[in-house]
Structure 1
Amino acid sequence: MTEPRPKIPIAPVLSRASFGAPSGNAGSAGRRPASVLDAGQVRKVTSGRVAIALALREMGARAGDEVLVPAYHSPSMVPPVLWCGAEPVFYRIAADASVDLADVAARIGPATRAIMVTHYFGFPQDMAAIRALCDAHGLQLLEDCAHAFFGEHGGRPLGSWGDYAIASSMKFFPTYEGGCLVSSRCRLDGVVLHSAGPGFEAKAALAALENSFAYGRLPLLRAALGPLLRLKDLAWRALKSRRTTATSGAAAAPAPDASALAPASSDSGFDFEPRWVDKRSSWFSRAVMRLASTRRIAGLRRRHYLALEQAARALPGCRPLFASLPEGVVPWQCPLVFDDPETVFERLHAAGVPLVRFAQLRWPGVDATTCANSAMLARRVLALPCHQALREDELAWMAAQLRAALQPKAEAA
């Protein structure tokens, strides 16, 4: 008899996992993990891409400037550059996802204003060398901590090496939206944020709750709020029906769009909505970040990562992208490199395993001729979730599916 397939969240959802006493291997005797919030002044915004736009605006990026962007990237990193009027110039990375400093140096020109550097999957780049390169050329450094809300390098929190840093809090906390702009070198007095209004505040809270309920978390709260959520759905459908019904021969009013209440947040998105640049993160998201146990989040993420890494090391045709999990690293996902990624992806996807293929979609024109390693990693790396909301049975099930995808005959026997 086939066991039921669990529905596993690809990102953290609201549950007890993010709150309470520390758990697992948080590193350094379980001390509170360093985070971008420790790196300097902070502004909490609605997404990482909004934070990029604000950072570039504060840097003074404008038409005629160039911003160096890694060829291995989320396409959402590029529209903020264009919004400022600047031009993205893509630099190469090495096969281990480290910055190719020689290529960066070769691409620096008189129009170069800033360099973006990404800590992929939560693993730090060599920030001392990158900072030295920026200082030598008089360039500003934008430290992309979208994958690395927690972590440190060289005894300093990630986010403290750049002139500005950005983070995506929704990747690490069970919230619907959220990002951070941080600076350890510059004041953020010019970044004035406002509430996006009651509709946004309500959607941020309800969406986080409904996402949790959809994955079977917080069943008692779901039962208690069930009637209210059904009433909300009925009210929304009634509103849509009224607005799409033409009256007296007049043209129908446009139907309300729930997505307009909050910004796009897809990692693979190519869009950018300037109206969210001056909006702060919701009260709900900020409250969750304040109340969550960062020691518990870090410990569980490290423990889950190590469990998946151990399962992968025992399998043929598969290896972790990073050789080890250093002290202080709190991973976003568990990236694995496959010899036959398409076959494995098809099998895991068919089984219902949630997967991230970071940079599979890149900015148009950025291909293997731009950076062979970026194209290779985008094709061969499949990342499994290791967030704190995963349950032990879900981790075991994902490990079993990984074994079945790489050893189908042995599993069938």
Structure 2
Amino acid sequence: MTSASPPTAPTAPARPRVPLAPVLSVASFGNAGAARPRSVLDAGQARLVTSGRIALALALRELGVAAGDGVLLPAYHSLSMVPPVLWRGATPQFYRVDGAARADLADIGALCDADPRIKALVATHYFGFPQDLPALRALCDARGIALVEDCAHAFFGEFAGRPPGAWGDYAIASSMKFFPMYEGGCLVSARHALDAVQLHSAGPGFEAKVALATLEHSFAYGRLAPLRAVLAPLMGAKDWLWRRIKARRIEAGRPADAALAPGSSDSDASFDPRWLDKRSSWFARWLLARVSGARIVALRRRHYLRLQQALGALPGCRPLHATLPDGVCPWLFPLWFDDAADADAAFARVRRAGLPVVRFAETLWPGVDAARCPGSVRLSRQVLAFPCHQELDAAELDWMTARLAEVLPEVQPPEVLPA
């Protein structure tokens, strides 16, 4: 008589790799017949460059910002925002934001009073949610300073009846935060001609690097499998290709170690002025024209609301914004933790679980501390942000929301002592 085999435990589903940023897929081109939603490109004349920080440097140059001038930057900021100001020889001055990342108009006014050489104000639409643009425009007009809209988090949208970027003297944006591409940004102006901003290609090495890196990133997350099989020999030979490109640079008397793509494509905060006259790659511009904007907006809003439903009732944390207004196309889903230590613990647990997460402005520029702006310090410590982009597939979104609800730490209520 044979003994029965013990029941086999069900195999746990493989943990998916969830992309933090959009990756190219066949679905990227879906819904192409739908009307394209309004974007920063509708705000005025545009120049397509390689990153938002390059666009900021060009905006400051066009404004005539020079040595001795002051530029007002938000105290809650990406480190990449500061080097373009220093490149112009100007002094960055950091204005306060509150706990909801809203610009402090009174503090901006006080900084202008203290320094008559303030030349421009940069206003950031954090996570896709707009600042009070009519008030900022009125303040800048009254003070005689320029307004630069930082739309790096807000490529699509409609604010007070206008597309993002339409209120500023200039606007900058980061298309690679919204489109599945390796590089891309834009400089836009509703008020000034951009004829002086002349751009040209960074060369065949750059063009090849962008196309291959975009596809390689897509393949790493299981997209475009048939194309991956076709291109396998080329992807395998790319190291040889880079060596050939560098050898040709040496033959032409150019430095062989110059980067084939800007540092922004690899998420560092560096600023290299050699990219100021380089236009965005052909492949990125091709994607910008053909990837469905309607799909980007619809799915980002849908995914944001899904995360809000899954995480909004957890104790000890809440969505940074109580609602998702019409006209907002979010970059990420920001979750506010009531206690900085809980946010630190949550960040560690999320990373260990293999979940994608961003701590925007985790490191602030030296001198930006709680004395200068308590709101920015709290935001940098107490906000974790999660992807809601359009290229999350159903299985990835289901797994991510379920795992986040499991691993985010619950904050215990304070102990009630007996009377």
Same fold (TM over 0.5): yes
CA distance in 2 between counterparts of 1:269 and 1:90 reads: 21
SS at match of 1:367: coil
Alignment of 1:337-348 (within 5 A): 337-339=336-338, 340-348=342-350
CA distance in 1 between counterparts of 2:198 and 2:245 reads: 34
State which drifts further: 96-105 or 363-372.
Answer: 363-372
Alignment of 1:281 onto 2:280 = yes
CA distance in 1 between counterparts of 2:66 and 2:100 reads: 33
The 8 Å contact of residues 33 and 328 in structure 1, kept in 2 or not, is answered as no
Aligned residue number for residue 20 of structure 2: 10
Alignment of 1:122 onto 2:128 = yes
- Counterparts in 2 of 1:150 and 1:321: CA distance versus 1, 3 Å: same
CA distance in 2 between counterparts of 1:91 and 1:83 reads: 20
Alignment of 1:107 onto 2:96 = no
Q: Match of 2:81, as an amino acid?
A: M
Alignment of 1:302 onto 2:312 = no
CA distance in 2 between counterparts of 1:156 and 1:11 reads: 27
CA distance in 1 between counterparts of 2:62 and 2:207 reads: 27
Shift of 1:270: 3.7
Q: Match of 1:43, as an amino acid?
A: R
State which drifts further: 1-10 or 336-345.
Answer: 1-10
- Give 2:166's match in structure 1, choosing from 160, 173, 176: 160
CA distance in 2 between counterparts of 1:255 and 1:67 reads: 34
Shift of 1:406: 3.1
Aligned residue number for residue 100 of structure 2: 96
- Counterparts in 2 of 1:128 and 1:147: CA distance versus 1, 3 Å: same
CA distance in 2 between counterparts of 1:128 and 1:319 reads: 28
CA distance in 1 between counterparts of 2:120 and 2:213 reads: 36
Shift of 1:363: 1.2
- 1:142-182 C-alpha deviation (Å, 9 max, x unpaired): 00000000011110001000000000000001110000000
Alignment of 1:143-292 (within 5 A): 143-236=149-242, 257=257, 260-265=259-264, 269-292=268-291
Alignment of 1:79 onto 2:79 = no
The 8 Å contact of residues 346 and 409 in structure 2, kept in 1 or not, is answered as no
SS at match of 1:362: coil
- Give 1:402's match in structure 2, choosing from 401, 404, 415: 404
Matched residue pairs, number? 394
Q: Match of 2:292, as an amino acid?
A: S
Length-normalised TM-score, structure 2 = 0.89
CA distance in 2 between counterparts of 1:255 and 1:191 reads: 25
CA distance in 1 between counterparts of 2:409 and 2:85 reads: 44
Unaligned runs of 5+ in 2: 1-10, 412-419
CA distance in 2 between counterparts of 1:142 and 1:267 reads: 25
Unaligned runs of 5+ in 1: 24-29, 244-253
The 8 Å contact of residues 54 and 181 in structure 1, kept in 2 or not, is answered as yes
CA distance in 2 between counterparts of 1:123 and 1:168 reads: 15
CA distance in 2 between counterparts of 1:150 and 1:239 reads: 36
CA distance in 2 between counterparts of 1:200 and 1:237 reads: 13
Aligned residue number for residue 134 of structure 1: 140
Alignment of 1:67 onto 2:71 = yes
Aligned residue number for residue 250 of structure 1: none
CA distance in 1 between counterparts of 2:345 and 2:84 reads: 35
Shift of 1:18: 2.1
- Counterparts in 2 of 1:293 and 1:105: CA distance versus 1, 3 Å: same
- Counterparts in 2 of 1:378 and 1:170: CA distance versus 1, 3 Å: same
- Counterparts in 2 of 1:360 and 1:155: CA distance versus 1, 3 Å: same
- 1:104-145 C-alpha deviation (Å, 9 max, x unpaired): 111002110000000000001110000000000111000000
Percent identity over the alignment? 63
Alignment of 1:286-365 (within 5 A): 286-339=285-338, 340-365=342-367
- Give 2:51's match in structure 1, choosing from 33, 47, 52: 47
- Give 1:379's match in structure 2, choosing from 370, 381, 386: 381
CA distance in 2 between counterparts of 1:57 and 1:156 reads: 25
- Counterparts in 2 of 1:267 and 1:131: CA distance versus 1, 3 Å: farther
- Counterparts in 2 of 1:76 and 1:33: CA distance versus 1, 3 Å: same
Shift of 1:267: 8.7
- 1:289-347 C-alpha deviation (Å, 9 max, x unpaired): 00111101111111111101111113212210011111110000000012310111111
CA distance in 1 between counterparts of 2:146 and 2:215 reads: 39
